Amino acid sequence: MTFFAKKLSSELRASGISLLRFRERTENQFSRALAGAPDGVLLQHSRDTLGWLEKAKQLSGNNCVWLIGHSEGAVLAVYFGAGRADICGYVLLAPPGRGMYALLRSQFESYRFPPAMLADLTAALDAILRTEGPLSFEDSMRADLFVTGVQRRLLHSTMKIKPADLLATDPHRALVILGSSDVQISKADVDVLSTLPTVQIHELPGLNHYFMPVTGLSVQDARRSYLDSNRQIDTRVIWLISQFINGAIHY
């Protein structure tokens, strides 16, 4: 959510970390990518990210920059940084370590949909993975999950990315933070990263997907907490990121 990115950026800046925050393009801005290759949206994301990476190096005067990504953004951060010498490392917040396909399949199962709906949603997910063109969903639940052509095309590309595999061959350090009350990213999604020597994992109790306090573990509890814009990001998250980037947290 935009409010989370804004709050995170503001609090990191207050802790002394300089950063550039950018959002993905709108569907209209992605029109050429949507009309092009199946992976056109991902390729455009790559161009945008690498352009901002160069800008960050220019403004900071540093030879490398840190990539910070939240949820699906963490998948993209690892993908964009793979093989680049000008990356200092990664801060991965609630990352789907197993990949987006495994994450969405497990989310569907955890929501306890009726068998017919679960089969329908799984089929829709598989269709996105296979498709080379636009998809049409009649079911309202499907429409809610996969609203735009951008999301479908991006999912088509990102479902092929497995962060655990990329990080296994990436020499850069990575800080992983997960809230114990996150109903979207499970412990299994970060446990797959736990054996990697370059990855440091911190699970913070009582925090939701946006690292804000929440009582209860149900999806309804989580949604209520997302709507409360007065909740603040837990200060431990900012402290961990700041200490990691400044080199105070060692392996």
Q: Which pLDDT tens digit goes with each residue over 44-78?
A: 666 777 777 888 888 888 889 999 999 988 998 99
According to the 3-state scheme, what is the secondary structure of the chain? CHHHHHHHHHHHHHCCCCCCCCCCCCCCCCHHHHHCCCCHHHHHHHHHHHHHHHHHHHHHCCCCEEEEEECHHHHHHHHHHCCCCCEEEEEEECCCCCCHHHHHHHHHHHCCCCHHHHHHHHHHHHHHHHCCCCCCCCCHHHHHHCCCHHHHHHHHHHCCCCHHHHHHCCCCEEEEEEECCCCCCCHHHHHCCCCCCCEEEEEECCECCCCCECCCCCHHHHHHHHHCCCCCCCHHHHHHHHHHHCCCCCC
Measured over all CA atoms, what is the biggest interatomic distance in the chain, rounded to whole angstroms? 56
Token pair for 17: 């970390």
> How many Cα atoms sit within 13 Å of 135 on the Cβ side?
28
Q: Going by C-beta distance under 8 Å and a sequence separation of 6 or more, which residues neighbour residue 36? A: none
Per-residue pLDDT at 40: 52
Q: Record the pTM.
A: 0.82
Which residue is listed with tokens 């735009």? 148
Per-residue pLDDT at 28: 46
Which residues in the chain show pLDDT less than 70?
A: 1-2, 22-46, 131-156, 216-219, 221-223, 227, 229, 248-251
What structural domains does the chain harbor?
Answer: 2-101+157-245 (3.40.50.1820)
Q: Which pLDDT tens digit goes with each residue over 83-95?
A: 889 999 999 999 9
Q: Which pLDDT tens digit goes with each residue over 131-149?
A: 655 444 443 345 455 544 4
Per-residue pLDDT at 219: 65
